[in-house]
A and B are shown apart, each in its own frame.
Chain A
Amino acid sequence: MRLSISKNVHLVEPGDFEATEHWYPRVLNSNIHPLVSYFLNLSHQQMVERYQRLHPSCNPDAILKVLTYQPTYFRWAGTDLMHITNHEGNRKLAVIETNSCPSGQKSMPLLDLNVEQGGYKRLIEKTFKPMVDAQKLEGSLAVIYDKNPMENVGYAATIADAFGENVYLAKFDKADTDPPVLFKEGVMHIRNERDEWIAIRAAFRYVTQEPWTRLPQNTKTLILNPIEACLAGGRNKEVASGAYDHFNNEFKQEGISIFTPKTFTKVPYNELKKYFDIMGGNMVIKVPDSNAGQGVYTVVSEKELVFALSQIDPTDTYLIQQLIHSNYNKGLDPTQAWYHVGTIPDNKGRSYAFDLRLMMHATEEGIRPLAVYSRRSGYPLNQPLPQDMNSWEVYGTNLSIKGEDGWTYADERLMLFDIRNFGQLGLGVDELIKGFVQSAMAVYAIDQNAIRTFGNKQLNA
């Protein structure tokens, strides 16, 4: 590795992958739960058969069509799902959001102990490399990022190994007034040590903060994922919601649909109070293009509404979502209300809300699950919320914490899918299959939305 070849650019060389640098320490010492390993190795046909047993009215051909789909734009994705139940005990995996630059490798135990690069290698060898090899492009390889160096250095080192060539690792920050990345006539360039701009033929992209401010559409450099995936819903909850509606309409006759909490889009700031009242005094307000738990407000009281209103821009519109409740409540509409299933109670009786992050990638055989982990909330579902505590403590599961010195994370709330943690989630293979099918449908919906918006062309061609 050659550090700092220019400001915020490093050159990663073959052989630079160091496992200890690309996983959280506790993951390095973990062993994947056999049930999770079993799930990750199921064929599409097995998943379809099982999904249909669980949902007898669905058309298996429609599910297979989704699982074997070859996305044009959205070839790497992560969904956040929540395990929920209703008054009658019908459990579902609800799609909360879909992300076009998902984290997760550093939280995923190795599927095969003999493959040191784990999911990094599967993503690069089965998704990125085939895309690059299929096109005769000239230039170097790069990883561009604005967060998550642990995973991005790992991706750069894996790409260097997979291609046998050096990889530029460039930080492409929103606030950088002199960034080391620029586009000339659709081709990405990265600044080297001589202040020369090196053309990039293909780039792995983990640029999350308003990436549309610096990544153009229709680039000649091949990018995983291109900005079109973000604009079509991969980084905008409102656009994604429209894409899901379109999918549900298209597949109505097939008996499959993407399940999300009830959602209202484009709600003006001055109508948020009205929605709060209509929804029974609780809701979730989301800034459409926010991420990492920023710009999401759970509101269960007037006080929290006032706080949320003080934090958001009065000139914007917002996405309002039904709150998944902590506990059964007789006052709630039994046809509409959903509750967190929560973790298995610990030895102190505490059960926590959790989400499930499912990372997927497009392979030769279709969409495949790649990495899974969960994050739990900070405060239990089944204890009264202290008066001065924000409801986010009960419902919020994001681990990212923005501190004075940058981003950090709440390790104690990370739930690995290993032999130690997975059992605490109360999930089985059926839930993982249901969650994966929901996630694949979300990817299909957003990719189709991208095609409707930007055209059905070959990737970056």
Chain B
Amino acid sequence: MNTNILIVEDDAVFCKLLTRFLGKNGFLVADAQDGKHAVKLLEEQTFSLGILDYRLPDMDGIEILQLIKEKNPSTKVIIMTRYGDEGIAQLAIEKGADAFIAKPINPTELLEVIQGI
């Protein structure tokens, strides 16, 4: 698979672990730990998939979702929400997210979600 993925998540360890895991599964992965870096990466390149945390220090995942879709409507987006944040998941879908996944995240389950969209 030749999917390049942008992970936006402010937990550095999460980013690293997920980046390595997806890298081993054949994806090209870039990561950003805040909205500012995510926007910079989006200006520099086009991604086929964004995996976005909803809660970020400077923006929220919905704002980044909208930027992604404005730039390239064919980019798929998965929003990661906290356990119990069903309202946010619903909002993300309404705003154009292709899927959501609730934390905690099992990397293997995430892989199944990626393959399903």
Contact = CB atoms under 8 A, between A and B. Distances in A.
A293 interface: no
A194 B83 contact: yes
Contacts of A4: 9, 11, 14, 80, 103-105
Interface string A4-16: 1111101100000
Contact of B106 (A1, A6, A7, A18): A1
A171 interface: yes
Contacts of B95: none
A21 B17 CA distance: 8
Nearest to A5: B104
B17 A3 contact: yes
A408 to B, nearest CB: 12
A21 B104 contact: no
A193 B105 CA distance: 11
A406 B104 CA distance: 25
Interface string B1-44: 00000000101111011101000000000000100000000000
B103 A153 contact: no
A169 B14 CA distance: 11
B103 A5 contact: yes
Interface in A1-53: 1-8, 10-11, 18, 20-21
Given A3-B17, A153-B17, A406 B12 contact: yes
Interface residues of B, number: 19
B20 A21 contact: yes
Contacts of B20: 18, 20-21
A169 B104 contact: no
Interface string B54-86: 000000000000000000000000001011100
Contacts of B84: 194
A268 interface: no
A164 interface: no
Contacts of A8: 11, 13
Contacts of A11: 104
Interface in A146-186: 149, 153, 169, 171
B15 to A, nearest CB: 10
B107 A10 contact: no
B13 A1 contact: no
Classify chain A: how many residues form its interface, as a range.
20 to 34
B13 A169 contact: yes
B101 to A, nearest CB: 10
Contacts of B107: 1, 3
Contact of B103 (A171, A193, A405): A193
A2 B83 CA distance: 12
Contact of B83 (A10, A171, A193, A406): A193
Contacts of B16: 149
Interface string B86-117: 00000000000000000111110000000000
A3 B12 contact: no
B14 A10 contact: yes
B66 to A, nearest CB: 23
Contacts of A3: 14, 17-18, 103-107
A408 B107 CA distance: 26
Most A CB contacts (10 A, CB to CB) among B17, B18, B20, B80 go to B17
Nearest to A2: B104
Interface in A47-72: none
B106 A2 contact: yes
Contacts of A10: 13-14, 17, 104
B83 A1 contact: no
A159 to B, nearest CB: 16
A1 B110 CA distance: 12
B24 to A, nearest CB: 9
A171 B33 CA distance: 15
A153 B104 contact: no
Nearest to B17: A3
A231 B26 CA distance: 47
B14 to A, nearest CB: 5
Given A1-B17, A153-B17, A193-B83, A7 B104 contact: no
Interface of A: 1-8, 10-11, 18, 20-21, 149, 153, 169, 171, 193-194, 405-406
Query: Which 4 residue pairs of A and B lie closest in terms of their CB atoms, listed nearest first?
Result: A5-B104, A2-B104, A193-B83, A4-B103
Given A8-B13, A21-B17, 14 more contacts: A1-B107, A3-B14, A3-B17, A3-B18, A3-B104, A3-B106, A3-B107, A4-B9, A6-B83, A10-B14, A10-B17, A149-B16, A169-B13, A194-B83
Interface of B: 9, 11-14, 16-18, 20, 33, 80, 82-84, 103-107
7 contacts: A4-B80, A4-B103, A4-B104, A5-B104, A6-B103, A149-B16, A193-B103
